[in-house]
Structure 1
């Protein structure tokens, strides 16, 4: 599995691909505040802008950006050769053009455009520093990604999607001062693609002393999913969560057993364990355990370990 679908919405607004008026066949643009505008530049499409900067300039000319609430940055060219730093610069140098911006996602690319590990990111911290009114912020791609500890008064949703999320990024999230953050999603990935974070790096988040408003936690797509499940089983933060997402990783019966033997999870509204390596017996046990609890438990995507050279191999949903 890999990322095979573009964002359909952001900040509850439908995603809309910006096409310069001269290329839209006379189609009227939607109201600036009514959609999440996606800017994407395919270097191999003759109908696309040759470079991202001309597309950006046409967007600023054609759309009342003072009313734009959500912005999605898609392909900015050959993303494996040119990192996102110039996109960050375009956004941070035009803050006066986006006074209403509440949601921003950088790197909305699918497999046909670039594998997730090919997306060259950069230091995205200036985006949060430049836009204090942001409520949602997301980034796809871990290669070259930098994130520094930051204070942000209004951010409610933070998501980092990667086949390998650098430990420095995880630690910076844990060290950040985000008093209103209610949803955190980390795709931790695998070491082979830069995902070198350990369970210890998650300790400040799981300890519950920081991120006091956190209600939805996703620690996803990890080759350490059993260790994470064991840590979550006794983590103080879990008591105040509404949803817990441990999907897309290499969860086995060992991790599931830790969850069952840990603190009660019946206060959750949703527990997502999809894409897992649980046995049929454990799946049945979990279904029985939560059957009458009211918790929506997702156990879809059962996988079988591959056997090679006398060893069992398990894989996360998104890596390369």
Structure 2
């Protein structure tokens, strides 16, 4: 039910933790200033400070300034922002502002991930985000953007001609944010991944909010679609099954949610799925009979189907049945 590890790879590059000033630091930022730094373009640089800062800890802003002075930042291709002080109370707005102010120095930047925290740092639904679209506007050559945490996240519709991958990981993604994303003009977008989450953590979107995306009118380059971690996974699956966009999707990911036989049947009874290269339904609530039906329909056509991490509903015996998404807290 939580995120348990930091990114190890981002934008096709290994993640390197920029060294902390304290060689004994446990902030996840590295092992000390004496660490030999890699080539600036060869890694995704992770900058992180403790989410529970002590007086002696270096906070994120100071670490970023040291990074700008230490590394050949004109060659940096990817940045991963980890934690910041009291991320459960303080938003990412100051970090977004700092990154925007450095756009004349980070001239080769192609990818940013904002909020690479585990549950020990800050639960995903407690991470306070902000309006992240000014960051995209400041980096027109950005090709990949990821963000974790849906609380106070804002994404009004924008135009960005370079973005190829957009990933939004939340325990609950607000309908306004969903509408802003699918209403954006992103002509180069090939991969879209949204963790829709649950209404308990602000995930109040419906399948109808996805209409511009599913109609095929948005994102003409889209080839990989992930609508994941959703409490309304059956409704999403049914909407995808009849969606015009499905015909050009090569990789479909409906994992991490509460998909049941109803949603899987709708998916199989809709448009043909045999053109897919991969279908990920892992972390699901499908019966064994339905799993066999899915495999029989798709595996002979070469579709790689992931039905791992099968779940069982909690039946209270009084008519109440509980099913859980993979990540919500």
Provide TM-score, normalisation by structure 1.
0.97
Which deviations, in whole Å up to 9, do the C-alpha atoms of 1:128-172 show, x marking residues without a partner?
100000000010000010111110011000011000001111101
Query: Which of 63, 71, 78 is 1:70 aligned to?
Result: 78
What is the alpha-carbon distance in structure 2 between the residues aligned to residue 86 and residue 173 of structure 1? Answer: 22
**Which residue of structure 2 aligns with residue 171 of structure 1?**
179
1:50 CA drift (Å): 3.1
Matched, 1:85 2:126: no
Cα distance change, pair 33–235 in 1 and its aligned pair in 2 (3 A): same
Check conservation: 1:20, 1:59, Cα contact below 8 A: no
1:307 CA drift (Å): 1.4
Q: What is the number of residues matched between the two proteins?
A: 320
Matched, 1:316 2:322: no
Check conservation: 2:20, 2:33, Cα contact below 8 A: no
Question: Which moved further from structure 2: 264-273 or 2-11?
Answer: 2-11
SS of corresponding position for 1:118:
coil
What is the alpha-carbon distance in structure 2 between the residues aligned to residue 203 and residue 54 of structure 1? Answer: 43
1:65 CA drift (Å): 0.6
Query: Which of 274, 292, 302 is 1:284 aligned to?
Result: 292
Question: Which moved further from structure 2: 30-39 or 285-294?
Answer: 285-294
Check conservation: 1:21, 1:62, Cα contact below 8 A: no
SS of corresponding position for 1:158:
strand
**Which residue of structure 2 aligns with residue 248 of structure 1?**
256
Check conservation: 2:53, 2:86, Cα contact below 8 A: no
The two structures, once aligned, show a CA RMSD in angstroms of 1.5
**Which residue of structure 1 aligns with residue 197 of structure 2?**
189
Structure 2 runs not aligned, ≥5 long? 24-31
Which deviations, in whole Å up to 9, do the C-alpha atoms of 1:58-95 show, x marking residues without a partner?
11111111110000000012101211000011011111
Matched, 1:105 2:105: no
Check conservation: 2:53, 2:85, Cα contact below 8 A: no
What is the alpha-carbon distance in structure 1 between the residues aligned to residue 105 and residue 36 of structure 2? Answer: 21
What is the alpha-carbon distance in structure 2 between the residues aligned to residue 47 and residue 251 of structure 1? Answer: 46
1:112 CA drift (Å): 1.1
What is the alpha-carbon distance in structure 2 between the residues aligned to residue 150 and residue 80 of structure 1? Answer: 27
1:291 CA drift (Å): 2.4
Cα distance change, pair 22–253 in 1 and its aligned pair in 2 (3 A): closer
Cα distance change, pair 43–156 in 1 and its aligned pair in 2 (3 A): closer
What is the alpha-carbon distance in structure 2 between the residues aligned to residue 150 and residue 44 of structure 1? Answer: 34
